[in-house]
Structure 1
Amino acid sequence: MRAARSVTLVVAAVLTGLMAGLFAGFVYAVMPGLRRSGDAAFVEVMQNINVAIVNPLFMTLFVGGLAAGLAAVVVNWRSGDPAVRYWAIAGFACYLLMFVITSGANVPLNDKLAAAGDPAQIADLAAVRAQFEGPWVAWNIARTVANVGALVCFAVALLRFRRSQS
């Protein structure tokens, strides 16, 4: 059981870290780069990213992080150090918040951008971009903060677990 406790915390931390890195990359590189682009390029690139990202690897990491976080909570529910349980619960709660933000805010914005159609056919690209860019960036920052919070919590839980085992 000790190995399962450790493994679930490691897997939760790794998957959470991978997702946090992806979302953070959009905060400090992708969106600032796209901000410098014209409206047509911005809309086309974001539409393409939103199609490309829905792939088996992304979905495995995204949903797998949620499953691993829940597994870490369940498996560590009765660990010797109650702080491990609390940190794992906090990590799962933060990851769940990121999941809800993504599903409830970013994905609907992506869908709305896709529904706008081919950028070459859109009459008012500036309006389409304006309705998407600001809210999407704000929600991406929120989910990034939640995801980094989840990573920190799972890492602390793992450190506490390791310390309690020595």
Structure 2
Amino acid sequence: MRAILSTALLWFAAIGCGLMGGIYFAFSTFIMRAFATLDPAQASAAMNAINAVILRSPFMPLFWATTLSALALVVLAAPEWQTTPGRLALAGGLVYLLGMFGCTVAFNVPLNDQLAAASGDAAAWQRYLAEWTRWNHLRTLASTLACAGFVWALVARR
């Protein structure tokens, strides 16, 4: 039963991390760059609109379900850290929890809150753009590495 649960969680986490990494990749590679070409008040308003809509979108269940699956994989893989699949699942889970979830909670969400309070201030937008994008690059990398770790763990189990 534990093997079936681990396999299902690895599949779900791999797909979830891939989707999350793709979303973050889009922001890092072209959405924020496009916003940088706009008037700061327009860009700030657009990002604030995204931040409001995203909370009521399918993104949030995916965000939480992938985070919880990564946490469950850390718990399940910890006793199996001596095996290659165990190490890969453990590493993938920790990278995702620290690099994606931790970064989101510690940096991206507070920056979103600051932007919402700044009311289109140009200097606030420029700071936000640089800092938020930097942390988003880390979330992109963490999600991608976690996805790769989970897929590799699935392959190593065969």
1:1-166 mapped onto 2 (5 Å cutoff): 1=1, 2-55=3-56, 57-76=58-77, 82-97=83-98, 98-117=100-119, 119=120, 125-161=121-157, 163=158
Amino acid aligned to 1:13? A
Contact 2:24 2:136 in 1 (8 A): yes
1:122 — aligned with what? none
Measured in 1, the distance between the counterparts of 2:48 and 2:29 equals 19
Contact 1:8 1:75 in 2 (8 A): no
What does the per-residue CA deviation read over 1:60-92, in whole Å, with 9 as the maximum and x for residues that have no partner? 11111111112233445566x811111011111
From the CA coordinates, give the structure whose radius of gyration is larger.
Answer: 1
Per the alignment, in what secondary structure is the counterpart of residue 58 of structure 2? Answer: helix
The alignment's C-alpha RMSD in Å is: 1.9
Q: How high is the TM-score relative to the length of structure 2? A: 0.90
- Pairs aligned (count): 156
Amino acid aligned to 1:4? L
Measured in 2, the distance between the counterparts of 1:147 and 1:104 equals 16
Per the alignment, in what secondary structure is the counterpart of residue 37 of structure 1? Answer: coil
Which runs of no fewer than 5 residues in structure 1 stay unpaired?
A: 120-124
Amino acid aligned to 2:141? V
Measured in 1, the distance between the counterparts of 2:76 and 2:134 equals 34
Q: How high is the TM-score relative to the length of structure 1? A: 0.86
Q: Report % sequence identity.
A: 35
